[in-house]
Amino acid sequence: MTRYFARRVLTSVGVALGVLVFTFSMLHLAPGDPVIAMLGRQAATPERIEALRGELGLDRPLPVQFADYFGGVLRGELGTSIQTRRPVADAIAEQLPSTLQLMLAAMLVAVVIGGVVGVVSATRAGSRLDRSLTVGSLAAVSVPSFWLALLLILVFAVWLGWLPAAASSGEVRGLVLPALALGIGEGAILARLIRANLVEQLTGPHIDAARARGLRERRVVGVYALRNAMLPVVTIIGLQFGYLLAGSVVIETIFARQGLGRLAVQAVSAQDFPLAQGIVLVMALTYVAINTLTDLTYVWLDPRVRL
Amino acid sequence: MRRRCTRTALALLFCLTLLAAACGSDDPAPDDDEDTTQDAEDPGDAADPGPVDDDDADDLQDGVDALATAGGTLTVGLSSEPISLDPGDGLFIAEHQVLMHVFDTLVRLTPDGSLVPGLATEWSANDEGTAFDFTLRDDVTFHDGTPFDAEAVIAQFDRLAATTDGAGVAPGVLAGYESATAEGNTLEVTFSESKPELLRDLTRAWMGIPSPTAMADAAEPSREPVGTGPFVLEEWAAQDRMVLRRNDDYAWGAPELGHDGPPLVDELVIRFLPDSSSRMAAFETGEADVIEEPQFLQVAGLVEAGRAELASFQAPGMPTHMMLNTENPPTDDPVVREAMILAVDTAELVETAFAGLQSPANNVLSPTTFGFSPQAAATYAPDPAAATALLEEAGWIDEDGDGVREKDGQRLTIEYPASPDWEGAYMELLTAYLTAAGFEVNLTQMDDAGIFEVANAGEHHLVSMAWISGSPSVLPIVYHSDNIEQGSAFTRFRDAELDELFDQAAVTVDDGQRSALYAQAQIIIMDNALAVPLYTLDRVLLLQPELTGFAFDAEGYAWLPGVAVGG
């Protein structure tokens, strides 16, 4: 177990380093200039650009800038935002809770939808209900989340007036629509996966054996079949957190929520290097942490797996 | 039961899909829009500072004042978020919009362009415009209890003058600053150069005066603004909102905008809603009482249904126009440039691209700007047929029938670097007008930095320009030949007479003479066909119908202390 964790931490460091090098070069090699983004095209003059670039240290050679930045990260400093001149860590700490909240809520939506639809479909495989659920899941997977978000706003906020369209962070009611918009598509994927695995499990000899012993159908499905069927699903759920992180970029903008995704968009469009790098780093570490948790869940679900 | 629910949910989803598709196709129907936007554009509605009729205004204002104790919360949805609330850093619209409610300026500008007292009750300047005396109010306190006095102004001016970096506007306003000295309640400020525009520049929110004690103590001045204004900043949650509380002591502004004394609402909440469709949704659900930049195609419908009031203001400064490169063939030929101006039907352009909610421009200054020249504005009237005739006459003829004119083996090809962020609404349309006249337009989409690079190197033929400003002094920044190598003079036009007019205007203190100099400059710019004017930057806001007391300030920013929320 200790060895497993040591390996995991080492891998995370490697991932973080790779992410740092990659985002640093991507951002700095991309066309554009944070200084012109700051000044605006009209007010920019070569003199002002030079002065500001010098002040921000952007006139130094790239390797020097990277070494400087990397040294800071090792000391736990993420630097200062070019645009707002605030510490990057503060800006991220302010936005991270909202994104985590959204991801967890969306995952809850996805798991509930996926679980219910998947089990219902599998236990009635081939029925009309199963077929319509299949069509519904396919539709839900195909619908882009931003479009679903607009649709949800139109129906539940503008027409019905049940939920806010752009709630302030901290308002629980305001979490419902963003979580649905982000979670429904992932839920549909889970539903397809659970259905397929469960159908396969339900035809296995251990199920026949369980039924032959007179166990109740609920126990047969819920324990004997579902637990086995969930093994690959858990891996997928871990991976889906990555999609949710990516999806939060759009969803946070549409619902005007606080969050890292929206901050990332702003940082990249303003070419605010330190901020963008900090966000990507935190996102990558979050992702690694979640996948570590996923692997631990695997151990719990499947006693054959040892760490 | 569960089975039925899932089925119902599925059915609902499909119905919604169909409905949404049906609604979507309604909006862009051109017939609907033309009729309804006529009403929306009605100047009676649009230019009036408040959404109420003049006759009823007094009665209503009485009623509103009676309601003043009712207070309530006013929620405003902005499309972007301020980066900094340190006035010295201010640059963007969102920043001005907030700063003006937290800080006061020495002098204020009325919507008709005259200067009225702010924190200064009187002022005077010497004949050269290099020294200014201000008499300051002695009954003003900052939000933190610090009394306002001349020392506070001196501290801020010294601080701005010492600022050599950063993107803010304010340090530039004080260019040539020598010193400020106080004697009791009077303040003398001297400059090494003539400052004819200083007083007008001082009316902008970036010239607001912060509390010197708060500035000295603040860990992050950009996030802890302490001024004397009608609202006090209480909370700023980035990417979410700002909460501002009424300053109960506010007794020094702004009668010229229809309301003096403390704001009517208890609380002003500013939400940052970058996505236009969610901004619209927040307005339609009533979560926002006021929004800026609504989706233009939907405005007319909401106004007609009585669910929104439209407030619109033609901003002063340079309207959106295309600067033409006079050094790069074929736009080095004045005839080609003139044909480009004539080819663009600006009235149709604003109707198509903005549902008529922006106004056609015909000059490099908008009509609400000090020094605007009607004569320059009358130089051209859009006429695509005349554009074609002009080109034919000059020998630009499409001989090989590929739709592009040629002359002496040279094709009529122009390079158009465009930013989809700013020009997305019209760049294709503009391209279509020019193509119809026989141009080949190479539209290349890039970001601001890329455009600056291309235009600074003179590789473009046309590049967009726009600048909100109460003063015509922005003109030389982009039309004085000194700024060709060192700035944004993207027409690369060298004319001694034009430069001289700008130089003269910069040191002419007399308003009438200065205005005449700028007028002459506009005439030269338009006579030489240096720019294709497109549309003036009209600030468009939607207000909930029950709102009263809304006003625009002189530059078209929303002034909110007089607003009362109904219900």
Please list every residue in chain B whose beta carbon sits closer than 8 Å to the beta carbon of residue A254: 275, 277-278
Decide the pairing of beta strands B290-292 and B73-78: parallel
The predicted-structure confidence for A230-242, as pLDDT tens digits, reads as follows: 888 888 888 888 8
CB contact under 8 A, A40 and B465: no
pLDDT, residue B393, reads 95
Please list every residue in chain A whose beta carbon sits closer than 8 Å to the beta carbon of residue B486: 45-47
Find which of A33, A35, A38, A41 to mutate to test the B interface (most B CBs within 10 Å of its CB). Answer: A41
Average pLDDT, chain B: 87
Please list every residue in chain A whose beta carbon sits closer than 8 Å to the beta carbon of residue B240: 168-169, 256-258
CA nearest B486: which of B478, B475, B496?
B478
Task: For Cα atoms A221, A226, A232, give the angle at the middle one, nearest 5 degrees.
Answer: 160
pLDDT, residue A307, reads 59
Residue labelled with tokens 């010492």: B162
pLDDT, residue A40, reads 65
Sorting pLDDT into bands at 50, 70 and 90, what band is B567? low
Find which of B448, B468, B479, B491 to mutate to test the A interface (most A CBs within 10 Å of its CB). Answer: B448
Which is higher by pLDDT, A108 or B219?
A108
With a cut of 0.90, is the ipTM above it? no
Q: How many angstroms separate the CA of residue A94 from the nearest CA in chain B?
A: 8
The predicted-structure confidence for A240-280, as pLDDT tens digits, reads as follows: 888 898 898 899 989 999 999 999 988 888 888 889 989 98
Decide the pairing of beta strands B531-536 and B186-191: unpaired
Q: Which of B241, B285, B486 sits opposite A168 (nearest CB)?
A: B241
**Number of other CB atoms surrounding residue B408 within 10 Å:** 6
In chain A, the residue whose alpha carbon lies closest to the alpha carbon of B81 is: A266
Sorting pLDDT into bands at 50, 70 and 90, what band is B468? confident
Q: Which of A47, A52, A95 sits opposite B239 (nearest CB)?
A: A95
Using the predicted structure, report yes or no on whether residue B268 has a pLDDT greater than 70: yes
Sorting pLDDT into bands at 50, 70 and 90, what band is B192? very high
Percent of chain B's residues with pLDDT above 70: 87
Residues B525, B533 contacting (CB under 8 angstroms)? no
- pLDDT average, residue stretch B160-173: 83
Decide the pairing of beta strands B317-324 and B462-468: antiparallel
The predicted-structure confidence for A157-216, as pLDDT tens digits, reads as follows: 999 999 999 888 778 899 999 999 999 999 999 999 999 999 988 888 888 888 888 888
Q: Which of A40, A167, A254 sits opposite B91 (nearest CB)?
A: A40
The predicted-structure confidence for B376-404, as pLDDT tens digits, reads as follows: 999 999 999 999 999 999 999 999 889 99
pLDDT, residue B165, reads 67
Q: Which of A33, A43, A151 sits opposite B16 (nearest CB)?
A: A151
Sorting pLDDT into bands at 50, 70 and 90, what band is B453? confident
Which is higher by pLDDT, B22 or A219?
A219
Q: How many angstroms separate the CA of residue A41 from the nearest CA in chain B?
A: 6
Q: How many angstroms separate the CA of residue B239 from the nearest CA in chain A?
A: 5
Sorting pLDDT into bands at 50, 70 and 90, what band is A61? confident
CB contact under 8 A, B241 and A40: no
pLDDT, residue B202, reads 95
pLDDT, residue A203, reads 86
pLDDT, residue B154, reads 97
The predicted-structure confidence for B360-383, as pLDDT tens digits, reads as follows: 999 999 999 999 999 999 999 999
Task: For Cα atoms A112, A114, A117, give the angle at the middle one, nearest 5 degrees.
Answer: 100
What is the number of CB-based contacts under 8 A between chain A and chain B? 164
The predicted-structure confidence for B39-94, as pLDDT tens digits, reads as follows: 333 333 333 333 334 444 444 444 444 444 468 999 999 999 999 999 998 888 89
Between CA B560 and CA B567 the distance in angstroms is: 18
Residue A76 phi/psi, 5-degree rounding, is 85, 15
Sorting pLDDT into bands at 50, 70 and 90, what band is B23? very low
Q: How many angstroms separate the CA of residue A303 from the nearest CA in chain B?
A: 34
CB contact under 8 A, A84 and B285: no
Percent of chain A's residues with pLDDT above 90: 34
Using the predicted structure, report yes or no on whether residue B21 has a pLDDT greater than 50: no
Sorting pLDDT into bands at 50, 70 and 90, what band is A220? confident
Residue B123 phi/psi, 5-degree rounding, is -155, 160
Q: Which of A32, A39, A129 sits opposite B450 (nearest CB)?
A: A32
- pLDDT average, residue stretch A79-98: 90
Please list every residue in chain A whose beta carbon sits closer than 8 Å to the beta carbon of residue B284: 158, 165
Amino acid code (one letter) for A68: D
- Token duo for residue A37: 């983004």
Across A281-285, A293-297, B548-552, least confident range: A293-297
The predicted-structure confidence for B302-346, as pLDDT tens digits, reads as follows: 999 999 999 999 989 999 999 999 999 999 999 999 999 999 999
The DSSP line for B501-558 is HHHHHHH---HHHHHHHHHHHHHHHHHTT-EEEEEE-EEEEEE-TT-B--EE-TTS-E
Alpha helices in B261-418 (DSSP H): 276-284, 296-304, 334-343, 346-354, 374-377, 384-393
The predicted-structure confidence for B113-154, as pLDDT tens digits, reads as follows: 889 999 999 999 999 999 999 999 999 999 999 999 999 999
Between CA B25 and CA B20 the distance in angstroms is: 9
pLDDT, residue A219, reads 85
pLDDT, residue A52, reads 77
What's the DSSP call for residue B255?
Answer: G
CB contact under 8 A, A31 and B447: yes
pLDDT, residue B70, reads 61
Using the predicted structure, report yes or no on whether residue B560 has a pLDDT greater than 70: yes
The predicted-structure confidence for B454-465, as pLDDT tens digits, reads as follows: 998 899 999 999
pLDDT, residue B111, reads 85
Using the predicted structure, report yes or no on whether residue A83 has a pLDDT greater than 90: no
Using the predicted structure, report yes or no on whether residue B4 has a pLDDT greater than 50: no
Q: Which of B277, B449, B456 sits opposite A32 (nearest CB)?
A: B449
CA nearest A238: which of A288, A165, A168?
A288
Alpha helices in B129-229 (DSSP H): 150-161, 170-173, 198-201, 212-217
Q: Which of A83, A117, A256 sits opposite B278 (nearest CB)?
A: A256
Kindly compute the dihedral angle of the four CA atoms of residues B143, B145, B148, B154, in this order, to the nearest 10 degrees.
Answer: -90
Across A129-138, A201-210, B24-33, B352-361, least confident range: B24-33
How far CA B411 is from CA of A87, B376, B395, in Å, comes to: 53, 31, 12
Residues B323, B462 contacting (CB under 8 angstroms)? yes
pLDDT, residue A43, reads 63
pLDDT, residue B90, reads 87
How far CA B151 is from CA of B137, B156, B211, B212, B478, in Å, comes to: 13, 9, 10, 8, 36
Which is higher by pLDDT, A220 or A112?
A112
pLDDT, residue B63, reads 46
CB contact under 8 A, B6 and A120: yes
Percent of chain A's residues with pLDDT above 70: 96
Using the predicted structure, report yes or no on whether residue B531 has a pLDDT greater than 70: yes
Find which of B295, B447, B451, B477 to mutate to test the A interface (most A CBs within 10 Å of its CB). Answer: B447
Average pLDDT, chain A: 86
- pLDDT average, residue stretch A46-73: 82
